[in-house]
Amino acid sequence: MKFEERFEALCDIAMVDGHAHSLRPLDSEVTGSILRIAFSESQERGILEGHLLDSLSYRDFLRNVLEVVLEDEECRIDSLCEEMESFYLTKRAEIGPARLAERLLTRANISRFLIDDGYGGDSQTMLSLDELSAVVKRPVHRVLRIETELEDLLGEVGTIQSVVEGFQERIDADSSIRALKTIAAYRGGLELQTVTEAEARDELDFLKWRNRGGSSSVRLEGTKMHHYLLGEAFAIAREKQLSVQVHCGFGDSDLVLDRANPTKMTTVFKDSRYEGVDFVLLHCFPYVKEAAYLTSVFSSVHLDLSLAPIMVAPAISGIYREALSVAPLSKIMAGTDGHSFPEAYFYGALSSRKGLAHALACLEEEGYLSEKEGSLYSNRILFENSRELYGI
Ligand SMILES: [Zn+2]
C-alpha cells in the first residue's frame, strides 16, 4: 500500500494513547508563550520566546492545527511561524475552547488514554482524571508515578517498611491504575544500584536526623533509598500484574541525556526478582535503536514511541522505521505524550500515524511485509498491543 492510502487507513484506527498527561481546564488563558510549553522540552526563555518559532515541528504543528480551525476558510498557512501562531490563537478564541477540543479530539481518533497524572502541578492547573474523562468523552486509565507517591509517603510515615506498605495500599485502593511509571531517568539516571533494606533504612534515618524540626519533604534523586524503593515498587508491580513504564531518552528539563539510555537498565531486565514484570520504555529518542534492541532480547521489554511525534516530527518516520526494523512488531506501541492542550493530543496522534504509515509503506515496498501484514501490524501498533499489555 502506498503512503497516502496507508495513512488514510491508519486514520480510521481508533488508537490507544499509551502515554499522555492531563489537560488544563479548557477555559484557561492561552497565549503563544503558554501554548509553546507543550511543544518544547526547554524551559529557557531564549528557546521558548525565540528559537522554537524556527523549529520544523512547531511550524508543522501550526500548519496542521490551522487546517482544523480554518476548515474551508481562507488559508494563511504559508505565513511566518509567529504570524501563524497569532492567527491561530485568534481563530481558537473565536471557535471557543469546548468546540475546538471536540474538533481536535475527533480528528485525533484516540479511543482511550493512559494518563500519568504525576505531571503538571495541582488540581488548580490540571484536570483530575474524572474531569479529563468527561472532557475527552473516552475512557481514561491511570498510570501511577512511582517517585511522586513514594515522596509523598516518605513525608508522611516513619519507616521504609511503612512506605512500601503505604505504596501497596494506594495501588489496592484505586482500580483505575493500569500501570506504574518511574522517572528515575531524570532523577539520577537509569543505572540502578542493588541495595539492601538496611542501607535504605540508614539513609532515611540520616535524612530524618538532618531535617529534624524542619521540613519533612524528600526528593528521590538516584540515592540508595530511591533505588531500594524502586525495586520494591517493581516487585509490587509483579505481584499486581501491572506494567512499569520507564521514562527513557529525552523528555524533561532535569535530564542529563546519556543517563537516560535504556541499556543502563539491562541488569534490571536480567534480574530474576523482576521476572514477569513488563517494562515499557517510553519515548526513547535518541536511543530508539538501543530500546528496540532490548525489546528483541528480553520478552518483558516493550517500546512506546510517544513524545517524538510532537517534538521531532520530521524525524518520526525514521524513528518508526528504525523501531520496526529491530523490534518485534508485537512489542511496539504508539503514544502522544500530549499534555495541557488538546492540540497536543491531536498533533501527537497525527504525527504518529504519518510516521508509522511512511515506515510501513517503505517496508511493504521493499518486500519485508505484505499489504495484509501491513494492515495487521497497523492495528497491533496503534491499538491491540497496548490493549493486550495493559488489559484495557
Ligand atoms: Zn510524559
Q: How far is the CA of 82 from the centre of ligand 1 (A)?
A: 26
On whether residue 188 sits in a domain, the answer given is yes
Q: How far is the CA of 93 from the centre of ligand 1 (A)?
A: 27
On whether residue 44 sits in a domain, the answer given is no
Q: How far is the CA of 36 from the centre of ligand 1 (A)?
A: 16
Cβ pair 38, 344 in contact under 8 A: yes
pLDDT, tens only, 306-343: 999 999 999 999 999 999 999 999 999 999 999 999 99
Q: How far is the CA of 22 from the centre of ligand 1 (A)?
A: 10
pLDDT of residue 72: 62
On whether residue 138 sits in a domain, the answer given is yes
β-strand pairing of 110-116 with 301-304: unpaired
Q: How far is the CA of 76 from the centre of ligand 1 (A)?
A: 32
Q: How far is the CA of 229 from the centre of ligand 1 (A)?
A: 22
Whether the bond between 286 and the residue before it is cis, its omega within 30 degrees of 0, is: yes
Q: How far is the CA of 212 from the centre of ligand 1 (A)?
A: 35
Q: How far is the CA of 19 from the centre of ligand 1 (A)?
A: 6
pLDDT, tens only, 148-180: 999 999 988 779 999 999 999 999 999 999 999
On whether residue 341 sits in a domain, the answer given is yes
pLDDT, tens only, 193-238: 999 999 999 999 998 888 877 777 889 999 999 999 999 999 999 9
Provide the CATH number for the domain around residue 309. 3.20.20.140
On whether residue 81 sits in a domain, the answer given is no
Q: How far is the CA of 1 from the centre of ligand 1 (A)?
A: 32
Cβ pair 23, 115 in contact under 8 A: no
Q: Which of 217, 212, 234 is nearest to 146 (CA)?
A: 234
On whether residue 16 sits in a domain, the answer given is yes
Residues contacting 156, CB < 8 A, separation 6+: 166, 216
Residue 334: CB atoms within 10 Å: 28
How many angstroms separate the CA atoms of 105 and 376, rounded?
24
Task: State yes or no: pLDDT of 255 exceeds 90.
Answer: no
pLDDT of residue 74: 61
How many angstroms separate the CA atoms of 320 and 337, rounded?
16
Q: How far is the CA of 338 from the centre of ligand 1 (A)?
A: 7
Domains: count for the chain = 1
Per the prediction, the chain carries an average pLDDT of 93
What DSSP element (H or E) covers 81?
Answer: helix 81-95
What domain range includes position 171? 3-27+109-390
Q: How far is the CA of 295 from the centre of ligand 1 (A)?
A: 20
Q: How far is the CA of 285 from the centre of ligand 1 (A)?
A: 13
Q: How far is the CA of 79 from the centre of ligand 1 (A)?
A: 31
On whether residue 364 sits in a domain, the answer given is yes
> Mean per-residue pLDDT for 247-269?
93
Q: Which triple of cell numbers denotes residue 75? A: 488559508
Q: How far is the CA of 21 from the centre of ligand 1 (A)?
A: 6
pLDDT of residue 232: 97
Q: How far is the CA of 244 from the centre of ligand 1 (A)?
A: 14
pLDDT of residue 300: 96
On whether residue 64 sits in a domain, the answer given is no
Residues contacting 162, CB < 8 A, separation 6+: 153
How many angstroms separate the CA atoms of 283 and 285, rounded?
6
Q: How far is the CA of 63 from the centre of ligand 1 (A)?
A: 24
